[in-house]
Amino acid sequence: MVGWLNRHASLVGLDDGLRLLETGQRTTHYVLTFDDGYRDNLALLSTPGGVPPAILYLATGHIGGEVIWVYRLSAAFERRRNHALDLSAQGIGCWPLDTPAEVEHCLLELNDALKRHPAPELERLVDEISRQLDPEPPTTDEREMLDWSEVLAIARAGVEIGSQTVHHAILSRVDASMARDELVHSHAQITAHVGTPPRHFAYPNGGAEDFGERDVALVRKAGYATATTTTEGVNRPGGDPYRLLRHNVHEQRFLSPFGTLSRALFFSETSGVLDWLRNRRRH
């Protein structure tokens, strides 16, 4: 799909897309965004038709290091050698982990509980969980996260580098000082390693409950020109550049009844046509 969009000139950079939006053009354009900084983003360098305009948002503290905590946690559970977890000393709880249902229940509760902690404490808790679960070593030692040399190669190929804080911190769950540090330090790290200051930001998690007015003001003050959410929808003229909407796009979402990728389904949903039809039926 990326190659097809690229060949048909439907992909634009975010700054160009916002400018086009304000001209009142009815043509639909797309901005590709990628989060976190995983090595599979290197596939952008071999996109059919050439490297597309895109933004790669980095959780800079994970570049060249460990995956973001939620994936590290899932991997520890998948490869666990111990079948019980006791975090009662941390005030969180304890769980048996003998069945898939018990594991699912534990992960759901942990995901909710851990998000409430500041990044350093959260990482210490994930370390403690991994210690208790004693997971089997991974079958490969290949890095999952990009390193800075790979980020630089992607940037030099024309992909814009944006920020997603240092530790993928959910801004609404940390105090103002920590939120400011996450935004400012990530901005500085990208500037130092890539050579140009990042203009664009993506809220970690990105739901309405994950950032607020305070955080929007901090993002603006830290030097970012836009910020994207994970709220789905189509951006319209006059929208708030610090609350940009996105679609979560993956191939399984846009399959036809025959199991092939449906361009018609993709375009009708991401252009807003389906929403328009649904709203019309309601009235």
The identity of residue 135, as a single letter, is P
Specify whether the CB–CB gap between 233 and 269 falls below 8 A: no
Global confidence as pTM: 0.83
Instruction: Write out pLDDT tens, residues 158-194.
Output: 999 999 999 998 999 889 999 999 999 999 999 999 9
- The pair phi, psi for residue 33, each rounded to 5°, is -130, 140
Alpha-carbon distance of 256 to 254, in angstroms, equals: 7
The tens digit of pLDDT for each residue in 198-241 reads: 999 999 999 999 999 999 999 999 999 999 999 988 898 889 99
What CATH number labels 2-64+144-248?
3.20.20.370
Q: Which of 236, 262, 58, 281 is closest to 164 using CA atoms? A: 58
User: What are the structural domain ranges in the chain?
Assistant: 2-64+144-248, 69-133, 250-283
Which ranges in the chain belong to alpha helices (H)? 2-7, 14-23, 69-78, 100-114, 119-133, 148-156, 176-194, 213-221, 263-270, 273-282
